[in-house]
Structure 1
Amino acid sequence: MRVLLSIILLIVFNSVLSGQQFTIEESIELGLKNSKDLKISGSKVSSSQAKISEVNSQMLPKLSLSASYTRLSDIPPFEIITPLSPNPIKLYDILLNNYNFKLSLQQPLFTGFRLSSLKNAAEFNSKSFEVEYDEEVNNAAFNIYTSFWNYFKAQQILKLVDENLSQMELHLEDTKNFLDNGLVTLNDLLKLEVEYSNTTLKKIDAENSVELSRAAFNKSIGIEINAPSTLHSKEINSSQHEYDFDEILNEAKQNRNTLKSVEYKILALEENIDASRGGWFPSIFLFGNFYYSNPNPRILPPEDKFNDTWDIGVGLSWDLWNWGFTSSQTRQAEETKYQAELLLSKLNDAVEMEVYQSYLNYKKSLEKINVIQKSVEQAEENYRITKEKYNSQLATSSDLIDAEISLLLGKTNLTHALVDYELSRLALEKTIGRKIY
Structure 2
Amino acid sequence: MQRTIVLLFFLVFQQLVFAAPQSGIATGDTLYLTLPDAWKKAELHSRLIEIQRKTTAIALEEYKDAKLELLFPEVSVKGTAEKASNIPIYENGLFSKPKQHEVIHTLYHIGAEFYQILYHGNKYRLKIKADKTSHQLSEVQENKVVSDIRYKTASLYLDLQRCLLFKDLIVKDIMDQEEQLKEIKSFHKNGVVLKSDVLRIELDLSKRKMALVTIDNDILIASQKLNIILGEPDERKVYPLMIDAQKVGRLPYQHYLEQALKHSFAYHISEKQTELSAINLKKVKANTRPNIGIYGEFYYANPQIFLAPYNPSWYSLGVIGVKATYPLSALYHNIHKVNAAKLELDKEEEAHHHTEDMVRQAVKEAYLRYEEALKQIDVSEVDVKQAQENARIIKNTYFNQTSLITDLLDADIQLLQARFELAAARILAQDKYYLLQNVIGIL
TM-score exceeds 0.5: yes
What is the identity, as a one-letter code, of the residue corresponding to 2:36? Answer: E
Q: Which moved more, 1:154-163 or 1:420-429?
A: 420-429
Equivalent in 341, 346, 354 of residue 354 of structure 2: 346
Tell me how far apart the structure 1 counterparts of residues 247 and 64 of structure 2 sit (CA, whole Å): 50
The answer on whether the counterparts of 2:248 and 2:430 sit within 8 Å (CA) in structure 1 is: no
Aligned residue number for residue 114 of structure 1: 123
How far is 1:57 from its partner? 2.4
Q: Which runs of structure 2 are paired with 1:31-430 in the superposition (5 Å)?
A: 31-59=42-70, 60-76=72-88, 93-237=102-246, 241-243=250-252, 245-322=253-330, 324-391=332-399, 395-430=403-438
Tell me how far apart the structure 2 counterparts of residues 223 and 22 of structure 1 sit (CA, whole Å): 12
How far is 1:210 from its partner? 1.0
Aligned residue number for residue 22 of structure 2: none
Moved over 6 A (4+): none
Tell me how far apart the structure 2 counterparts of residues 305 and 150 of structure 1 sit (CA, whole Å): 87
Aligned residue number for residue 3 of structure 1: none
**What is the percent sequence identity of the aligned residues?**
20
Name the CA shift for 1:282/1:164 in 2 (closer, same or farther; >3 Å): same
TM-superposition CA deviations, 1:385-415 (whole Å, max 9, x none): 3334445555543333222211110011111
How far is 1:332 from its partner? 2.8
Tell me how far apart the structure 2 counterparts of residues 55 and 328 of structure 1 sit (CA, whole Å): 27
Name the CA shift for 1:74/1:423 in 2 (closer, same or farther; >3 Å): same
Equivalent in 29, 32, 39 of residue 28 of structure 1: 39
What is the identity, as a one-letter code, of the residue corresponding to 2:183? Answer: D
Name the CA shift for 1:313/1:157 in 2 (closer, same or farther; >3 Å): same
Aligned to 1:229, the other structure's residue is in SS state strand
What is the identity, as a one-letter code, of the residue corresponding to 2:344? Answer: T
Q: Any unmatched runs of 5+ in structure 1?
A: 1-14, 80-89
Aligned to 1:225, the other structure's residue is in SS state coil
Aligned to 2:173, the other structure's residue is in SS state helix
How far is 1:76 from its partner? 4.9
Q: TM-score when scaled to structure 2?
A: 0.85
Q: Which moved more, 1:136-145 or 1:424-433?
A: 424-433
Tell me how far apart the structure 1 counterparts of residues 389 and 29 of structure 2 sit (CA, whole Å): 37
What is the identity, as a one-letter code, of the residue corresponding to 1:321? Answer: S
Name the CA shift for 1:330/1:101 in 2 (closer, same or farther; >3 Å): farther
The answer on whether the counterparts of 1:238 and 1:421 sit within 8 Å (CA) in structure 2 is: no
The answer on whether the counterparts of 2:119 and 2:293 sit within 8 Å (CA) in structure 1 is: yes
Q: TM-score when scaled to structure 1?
A: 0.86
What is the identity, as a one-letter code, of the residue corresponding to 1:289? Answer: E
Tell me how far apart the structure 2 counterparts of residues 311 and 240 of structure 1 sit (CA, whole Å): 72
Tell me how far apart the structure 2 counterparts of residues 261 and 297 of structure 1 sit (CA, whole Å): 61
Tell me how far apart the structure 2 counterparts of residues 426 and 252 of structure 1 sit (CA, whole Å): 14
The answer on whether the counterparts of 1:69 and 1:98 sit within 8 Å (CA) in structure 2 is: yes
Aligned residue number for residue 20 of structure 2: none
- What value does the CA root-mean-square deviation take over the aligned residues? 2.6
Q: Any unmatched runs of 5+ in structure 2?
A: 1-25, 92-99
Aligned to 2:320, the other structure's residue is in SS state strand
Aligned to 2:319, the other structure's residue is in SS state strand
TM-superposition CA deviations, 1:111-167 (whole Å, max 9, x none): 011111111122222222222322332222211111111110011112211222222
The answer on whether the counterparts of 2:56 and 2:139 sit within 8 Å (CA) in structure 1 is: yes
The answer on whether the counterparts of 2:85 and 2:103 sit within 8 Å (CA) in structure 1 is: no
How far is 1:269 from its partner? 2.2
Tell me how far apart the structure 2 counterparts of residues 332 and 376 of structure 1 sit (CA, whole Å): 64
Q: Which moved more, 1:375-384 or 1:233-242?
A: 233-242
How many residues are treated as equivalent by the alignment?
Answer: 410
What is the identity, as a one-letter code, of the residue corresponding to 2:56? Answer: V
The answer on whether the counterparts of 1:292 and 1:309 sit within 8 Å (CA) in structure 2 is: yes
Tell me how far apart the structure 1 counterparts of residues 339 and 399 of structure 2 sit (CA, whole Å): 87
Q: Which moved more, 1:25-34 or 1:254-263?
A: 254-263
The answer on whether the counterparts of 1:77 and 1:94 sit within 8 Å (CA) in structure 2 is: no
Tell me how far apart the structure 1 counterparts of residues 399 and 28 of structure 2 sit (CA, whole Å): 43
TM-superposition CA deviations, 1:417-437 (whole Å, max 9, x none): 11111112222233333x22x
